[in-house]
Amino acid sequence: MTVALINASPKVKGSSSGILLNDLKECLGNKVDVEEICLRTSKITAEIIEKLKKADTWVVAFPLYVDSLPSHLLACLKQLEKMTWKKPNLNIYGIANCGFYEGNQAEPALNVLKNWCAKAGCAYKGSLGIGGGGAIAVSGNMSGKNSLRANIYKAMKKFADRIVKKEGEANKYATVAFPRFIYKIAAQNSWRKMIKANGGKTKDLNKRLDVELTDTSVNKRIVYEQ
């Protein structure tokens, strides 16, 4: 059995999607063969297609963008939808991580992946929605006794077992192993550090931008307040 671990984060390195796929690879152990694939642009290369052809199962990992999949991943899925070489029993799993504390915030995006499977003729087998994505990159080893990813590790172990057995199940959700209010404080501190590092001030975080767009259907201007 060959499993394609597809990292669909646009980040070149240090992505939470990549970290979670490494966790999954560790949990899978030597029970399966693994093909590691990166999708960072809106076009799929011939090399990637050849790797995908070898796999019986795909695991698509991606960050949540505006409650959905990143646009480049949607473009790639549209291309893959038209491929005629897909195996009729191709199993698809997903891993969505989000900056929200609650993992079930990823549910709408995972439904998009599920609907794509139905149209493309693949078998959707369920996914993991991971909350607290902002802490994953600094959370250390996932399996340690006091790991910030202890809850994610438990969910990932079960997820790996399902993949090996080719079992389908409803989407599951997990988050980091510390309280929501601490996560919120850490996020706020991180935003302050980032804006200062980029030449801004903390008070700039409260600024709002009025964006003027044109509604071509009625030829009028609409102001969107962000």
Query: Domains of the chain by range and CATH?
Result: 2-178 (3.40.50.360), 181-225 (no CATH)
Tokens of 86: 């897909």
Residue 7 near residue 15 (C-beta atoms within 8 A): yes
Task: Identify the burial level of 96 via C-beta atoms within 10 angstroms of its C-beta, where 0-12 means exposed, 13-18 middle and 19 or more buried.
Answer: buried
Tokens of 176: 């980091």
pLDDT above 70: residue 41: yes
Instruction: Give pLDDT, residue 6.
Output: 97
Distances (CA, A) of 53 to 37, 85, 203, 226: 12, 7, 51, 43
Confidence band for 223, pLDDT divided at 50, 70 and 90: very low
* Lowest mean pLDDT segment, chosen from 14-18, 133-137, 184-188, 198-202: 184-188
Instruction: Give pLDDT, residue 225.
Output: 43
Instruction: Give pLDDT, residue 222.
Output: 45
Q: Please, which residues have CB within 8 angstroms of residue 72's CB and are 6 or more apart in sequence?
A: 8, 10, 39, 40, 41, 42
**Across residues 102-125, what is the average pLDDT?**
92
Residue 142 is given by DSSP the state T
What is the model's pTM?
Answer: 0.82
Query: Among residues of the chain, what percentage have pLDDT more than 70?
Result: 81
- Alpha helices (runs of H) in the chain, residue ranges in sequence order: 16-28, 46-54, 71-81, 107-120, 133-136, 150-165, 180-197
Rg over CA atoms, the chain: 19
